[in-house]
Amino acid sequence: MSAAVSVENLRIEIAATGTPVVSDVSFAIAPGEILGLVGESGSGKTTVGLALLGHARRGLRIAGGSVLLGDRDVLTQDEEERRKLRGSAVSYVPQDPASSLNPALRIGLQLREVLDAHDSGGARDYSARIAEMMRAVALPDDRAFLKRYPHELSGGQQQRIGLAMAFANRPRLIVLDEPTTGLDVTTQAHVLSTVRELAALHDVAALYVSHDLAVVAALARRVAVMYAGRVVELGPADAMFASAGHPYTRRLIGAIPRLTGGRSLVGIPGRALSPGKRPGGCGFAPRCDLRIGQCEQEMPELRPIDTDHMVRCIRAELVMTQDPGKAGEPVEMPAADDAEVPALRITDLVASYGRHEVVHSVSLALAARECLALVGESGSGKTTIARAVAGLHHAWTGAIALDGAELHPSARNRGGDARRRIQYIFQNPYGSLNPRRTVGQIVAQPLKIFGTAGGREADKRVAEMLERVSLSSGYARRYPDQLSGGERQRVAIARALVCDPTVLICDEVTSALDVSVQAAIVELLGSLQRDLGLSMLFITHNLPLVRSIAQRVAVLSQGRIVEAGEVGQVLAHPSQPYTRQLLSDTPSLETASTDVSLDEPPAETFGK
């Protein structure tokens, strides 16, 4: 069976300098097959995806290699030929559906134009075909719906339009670029199943680009892992997840939060280097704990170690025999004391935005030295609750008490002590640090505001805190622009902890980070929480992550708590339908290979 698409030695460089961004990438996809392309930010995966359409973003240039669609090489075609291929022989489903749809055009028109552009028969009536397309992606097929503008659709609906447009002309190959980023778990599950169905139905080959291994595992039979612009491992998904051949893949798998098995996550030290700064020799060597001298001298070849399983590592055989590492060890959680006054007690909290009530009478207690996870999808109200506790959201009624003392809705009206004892870490590492201040000034700010320490004493505390979050004290002189996302979150953590708070609120602090970085940050937070005896409110939409850090969990849906209890209990034996649905919709490596229906998962999948 000939491949639907065959990529050979693809090389993409920065146009101005010739610095390679992607090199030596080769793979093939059969018709009807889904190949997962996995990598973290900077690995070059999106660039590869776009190259399959013969497209390079501004500033980049496709410098070599071939992309064979059937017998035609996309890269040797001229611009007009390539235009004809795009949307008809090969299509693209973008990452952000909201910004990829023209805000000024009705969606009916945007659907029609992809049919029109590739129709050699002249203007025809496309209504029937459009209606069919809409039904295929489970969207309403009536004209009223087609008259809507993109902003009148939800994120999930927008993404389905993207899918409809991609499948419209029955292409040979579809490139999906992280199409479920930004969608909540349930919507994501639906979108993924739609992709699977349509690909099988029309015998379309698909390249699924993602940073989320769990999602890829659920969808693809074969996976290619990219690091620093190269494919480092390529093979069948189950074989790879059971026992990976490349150290990076192995570490990546160890960093993924799980619903079963061990709780602790292991991150990868260091960070990926950008094009131009990559070392000679193996790209992963600087961060690899199995490296030997030879690794740094020459780039390993992508070689087969098993049928259909290729690895770019000279020590692949050794890697496969390795123990997955500490991922199996359960984490010791200190016992929470019931007799003590809870660090935080929320009673009948009702919060609104304008006239719209978003939190309906929520009551919670956070015990001292305990980590409570607040889990929910967007719109569930979890961030609103967190901001109310911090005094950032003022429109609420009810009571929030810190160590028994009630708090004023607005942070400004609370005493200095109350403000000091509740600290907040934000989701977006790129917005939570003042770009005009040095790291040292940022971390020292709370000390100045609360008068805890000054001058030399302050400098000492800052240096101590930076060490605590695994940043060398030299970081104090740097500016946020020079730091990576993970490093910035560490600075945010240092800032939050420098004044000895009692309660730490973490609001989706790892959602914007790569998986390996997320693992490191979560481990850091977990160890700090235990060592310092902090009470922590950990907010996330990522259920498996909860296992790695929290003792208790409260599940929120549409402003109400639907279920709460000890983490192990809730995840293993959820009592509410909503929780069960959430669990089964969450993609995970364990459930990927077993065929799980959308009902209650088998109990033995979740052990303690």
Q: Name beta bridge partners: 422.
A: 503
**Residue with smaller CB distance to another protein, 258 or 541:** 541
Using alpha carbons, list the distances in angstroms from residue 369 to 55, 243, 502, 528.
53, 37, 9, 11
Shortest Å distance, C-beta 123 to another protein: 14
Q: Secondary structure of 560-599 in the HEC alphabet?
A: EEEEEEEHHHHHHCCCCHHHHHHHHHCCCHHHHHCCCCCC
Q: Name beta bridge partners: 375.
A: 540, 555
DSSP assignment string, 362-399 = EEEEE-TT-EEEEE--TTSSHHHHHHHHHTS---EEEE
The residue from 173, 390, 476, 550 that contacts another protein (CB under 8 A) is 390
Q: What is the Cα Rg of the chain in Å?
A: 25
Q: Does 94 bind another protein (CB under 8 A)?
A: yes
Distance (Å, whole) CA 167 – CA 170: 5
Q: Of residues 503-562, which lie at the interface with another protein (CB under 8 A)?
A: 508, 511-514, 517, 541
Q: Does 414 bind another protein (CB under 8 A)?
A: yes
CB 68 within 8 A of CB 6: yes
Amino acid at 448: K
Q: Does 292 bind another protein (CB under 8 A)?
A: no
Q: Does 391 bind another protein (CB under 8 A)?
A: yes
Q: Tokens 């990076």 sit at which residue?
A: 248
Shortest Å distance, C-beta 448 to another protein: 10
Q: Of residues 134-193, which lie at the interface with another protein (CB under 8 A)?
A: 149, 151-152, 154-157, 165, 181-184, 187
Distance (Å, whole) CA 513 – CA 510: 5
- Please, what sign has the CA dihedral across residues 225, 195, 33, 74? negative
Q: Does 429 bind another protein (CB under 8 A)?
A: yes
**Residue with smaller CB distance to another protein, 399 or 449:** 449
Q: Name beta bridge partners: 310.
A: 234, 304
Shortest Å distance, C-beta 292 to another protein: 26
Rounded to 5°, angle at Cα 594 from 592 and 599: 90
**Residue with smaller CB distance to another protein, 477 or 573:** 477
Q: Of residues 452-481, which lie at the interface with another protein (CB under 8 A)?
A: 479-481
Print the binding letters for residues 31-70 with another protein: x by CB under 8 A, - otherwise. ---------xxxx------x--x-x-xx------------
Coil, helix or strand for 246?
coil
- 236, two tokens: 């069948």
Q: Does 119 bind another protein (CB under 8 A)?
A: no
**Residue with smaller CB distance to another protein, 331 or 392:** 392
CB 23 within 8 A of CB 275: no
Q: Name beta bridge partners: 173.
A: 90, 205
Q: Of residues 296-355, which lie at the interface with another protein (CB under 8 A)?
A: 353
**Residue with smaller CB distance to another protein, 235 or 391:** 391
Q: Name beta bridge partners: 25.
A: 10
Q: Of residues 243-282, which lie at the interface with another protein (CB under 8 A)?
A: 271-274, 277
The residue from 30, 32, 64, 96 that contacts another protein (CB under 8 A) is 96
The residue from 8, 73, 113, 296 that contacts another protein (CB under 8 A) is 113
Pick from 157, 141, 167: which is nearest to 98 by CA?
157
- 190, two tokens: 């639906």
**Residue with smaller CB distance to another protein, 73 or 306:** 73
The residue from 105, 128, 318, 405 that contacts another protein (CB under 8 A) is 105
The residue from 2, 9, 434, 575 that contacts another protein (CB under 8 A) is 434
**Residue with smaller CB distance to another protein, 433 or 567:** 433
Identify the helix (H) or strand (E) that includes residue 231: strand 230-236
Shortest Å distance, C-beta 109 to another protein: 8
**Residue with smaller CB distance to another protein, 378 or 605:** 378
Q: Does 103 bind another protein (CB under 8 A)?
A: yes
Shortest Å distance, C-beta 294 to another protein: 26
**Residue with smaller CB distance to another protein, 427 or 588:** 427
Question: Which residues touch 242 (CB under 8 Å, ≥6 apart)?
Answer: none
**Residue with smaller CB distance to another protein, 226 or 336:** 226
Shortest Å distance, C-beta 195 to another protein: 16
The residue from 27, 284, 426, 475 that contacts another protein (CB under 8 A) is 426
The residue from 9, 76, 294, 482 that contacts another protein (CB under 8 A) is 482
Using alpha carbons, list the distances in angstroms from residue 431 to 45, 317, 415, 438, 524.
26, 44, 26, 14, 21
**Residue with smaller CB distance to another protein, 327 or 374:** 374
**Residue with smaller CB distance to another protein, 17 or 274:** 274
Shortest Å distance, C-beta 280 to another protein: 18
Pick from 429, 438, 442, 430: which is nearest to 478 by CA?
438
Shortest Å distance, C-beta 330 to another protein: 28
Shortest Å distance, C-beta 514 to another protein: 6
**Residue with smaller CB distance to another protein, 182 or 565:** 182
